Amino acid sequence: MIDRAHAPNHWLKPHGRRAWLLITCLTLASVADAQADANLELQSLAASCAACHGTNGHSKAQASIPSLAHLPAAYFIARMQAFREDDNLATSVMAQIAKGYDDHQLRQLAEYYASQPRTRY
Amino acid sequence: MVPLMNRRQVMLSLGAGGMVTALTGCSGWQTGRSRPRVVVVGGGCAGATAAKYLRMWSDGTIEVTLIEPNHHYVSSPLSNRVIDGELGLADLTRSYEPLARRHGVRIIVDRVVSFDPIAKRLRLSQGDELRYDKLVLAPGIDPQFEAIDGLAAAHADGRILAAWAAGPDTAGLHAQLRAMPDGGVFAITVPEAPYRCPPAPYERASLVAAYLKRYKPRSKVLVLDANQDVVAMGSLFKKAWQDRYGNLLEYRNHHQAVGVDAGTLTVRFEVQEDVRADVLNVLPPVRAGRLARDAGLANINSRWCEVDFACFESKLAKDVYIIGDAIQAAPKMPKSGHLANGHAKVAVAAIIASLRQRPLDPHPMLTNTCYSLVSPFAGMHSAAVYGYVAAHRTFESVADAGGVSAEPNEAEVTEALAWAKNLWTDMLG
């Protein structure tokens, strides 16, 4: 027998279900908003490479400036580490740029560019 | 009248809006319309980039209109190579058409004559009126010919050219150089910093010296600089001049040009003696483009526009974002095409966040790379990385990052061309 005095029966009432729907919607909405914020920030971070390396890493002059799109993330990070650490490269553009990003940012950039399609159109 | 909803209904409807956002990716605009309207004024490195990225990053859900008076973009980056005859203007000319065809930007070839930031409305010279939710101003710079006595008239009749923004004057200056007799003097005056593209006058002097060394070796290049020293890549330029051009190129600091005589091609200075030349290339001081000044947005010395660096919104006008060379730059941040392209992306991300009523990116980043040639066969660079520092409300250069080439080299001549090609595509393609 159900003890109506103690059961959490408000969950079962119509307005109670609406409350759950509300909570679910708000949670999904805030997750979606936070995801959209993160995507935009990542696009913006990655776009700081694009003036030289082309939009989304598609270079139009690959003999001098490589495309970043579709590079394996591990290769990207290894190259950036070499630019940061190899004294023989210290006066190259990329050594001087790579030192401007922290490890977390370099990982974000590596993953972003690895996920870009190899060709643009 | 809008029917009143109780709090739960309001929250439910907001929740449902969020669900739509989650399903469709990029909507959830808070402007009360399904497609917010952003107008971009100016199609240079800053404005064209903003127009393209607004469309890209909103998945085409923002209506973007670009107002630009010219039918084609002519690149000022690389334009010193037109002066020494290595390139032609056609090499620097790109169409705006891919912005419309690939990205859906509506392009209007016209000028803005006025705008009302309260009514959020602007008027074009042909009478059209446009409304906007957000306005991006990328008005670039205007030369202050009137700052140097006699220059406005001498420039208008083509006797003394500045050729600062690429265009017919760039080719005109090349023609003057070609016509100059062997044994002549090519004099270039450099305005007080800040001006657009700090290394450019020195690159120009170097390329002219290389041309004269080859074709008219009894001639001379005079660099007459209002500043106390070479403004950018100073030791690299001075060493290159010494090594490559010797007495053919002479650098003089503290030469603030105050007047010109077009008849005798003479330039007068605040303190130093007059200089007569056979080709006189006078670079006047510059300031923010007219539109920003007329709107009262150039509040720093009546020259530059003050912006909130977190988003590039004007400090004076809400929902008006100012990018590129017209702004009062952050410390150690030059006025460059590369940075203008970067301003645009930070502003676009901020505009999208604001239209969604979401927080701004707390730590946007900017990079800069300037390539300069000291001869047609030797180039060098200056690079920097900047991060936004919320506590100081400005961009600061990241410690340990940035620097210059060890010495001018052949590879960076090719790299400079590749950089320009990718920059053009990033803004227009």
Instruction: Provide DSSP, B9-31.
Output: HHHHHHHHHHHHHHHHSS---SS
DSSP helix/strand/coil, B286? strand
Question: Does the beta carbon of B425 lie under 8 angstroms from any beta carbon of chain A?
Answer: yes
Asked if B382 and B416 touch (Cβ cutoff 8 Å), the reply is no
Residue A12 has pLDDT above 60, yes or no: no
Q: How far apart are CA B158 and CA B162, in angstroms?
A: 10
Contact present, B262 and B290 (Cβ < 8 Å): no
pLDDT at B337: 98
Structure tokens at B94: 């790109």
Q: Please give the interface size between A and B, counted as residue pairs whose CB atoms are below 8 Å apart.
A: 166
Q: Which of A87-91, B6-10, B18-22 has the highest mean pLDDT?
A: A87-91
Q: How confident is the model at residue B18 (pLDDT cuts 50, 70, 90)?
A: very low
- Among the partner residues A18, A41, A48, nearest to B367 by beta-carbon distance: A48
Question: Region B32-44: what's the mean pLDDT?
Answer: 92
Q: Considering the entire predicted model, what is its pTM?
A: 0.90
pLDDT value at residue B31: 72
Query: Where do the structural domains in chain B lie, given as residue ranges?
Result: 28-69+110-144+288-361, 145-286
Looking at residues B143-160, what average pLDDT do you find? 97
Q: Is the separation of the CB atoms in B111 and B294 below 8 Å?
A: no
In terms of Cα–Cα distance, which of B175, B232, B154 is closest to B200? Answer: B232
Quick check: A65 and B419 CB within 8 A? yes
Q: What is the mean pLDDT of residues B52-80?
A: 97
Q: Band the pLDDT of B2: cuts 50, 70, 90.
A: very low
Q: Is B294 helix (H, G, I), strand (E, B) or coil?
A: helix
Between A25, A52, A101, which is nearest B419 by CB?
Answer: A52
Q: Which CATH fold would you assign to the domain B145-286?
A: FAD/NAD(P)-binding domain (3.50.50)
Residue B42 clears pLDDT 70, i.e. is over it: yes
User: What integer pLDDT is reported at residue A26 of this predicted model?
Assistant: 75
**Closest Cα in chain A, distance from residue B165 (Å):** 20
Q: Tell me the CATH class for B28-69+110-144+288-361.
A: alpha beta
**What integer pLDDT is reported at residue B29 of this predicted model?**
83
Chain B residues touching A98 at Cβ < 8 A: 401
Q: Least CB-CB distance to A25: which of B19, B349, B358?
A: B19
For residue range A26-73, list pLDDT tens digits in order: 788 889 999 999 999 999 999 999 999 999 999 999 999 999 999 999
pLDDT at A1 exceeding the cut of 60: no
Task: Note the pLDDT of residue B3.
Answer: 38
- Predicted local distance difference test score (pLDDT) of residue B12: 35
Q: What is the CATH number of domain A9-114?
A: 1.10.760.10
Instruction: Calculate the CA B175 to chain-centre distance.
Output: 25
State pLDDT tens for residues B293-345: 999 999 999 999 999 999 999 999 999 999 999 999 998 999 999 999 999 99
Place of tokens 């080299």: B409
Q: How confident is the model at residue B209 (pLDDT cuts 50, 70, 90)?
A: very high
CA distance B232 to B243: 18
Instruction: Select the more confidently predicted residue: B174 or B3.
Output: B174
Yes or no, beta carbons of B21 and A41 under 8 Å apart: no
User: Which candidate, B112, B391, B165, B383, places its Cα nearest to that of B286?
Assistant: B165
Give B147→chain A minimum CA distance, Å.
34
pLDDT value at position A13?
57
Give per-residue pLDDT as tens, B348-385: 999 999 999 999 999 999 999 999 999 999 999 999 99
Residues of A in contact with B349 (CB under 8 A): 40-41, 43-44
Mean pLDDT (chain B, rounded): 93
- Region B36-65: mean pLDDT is 98
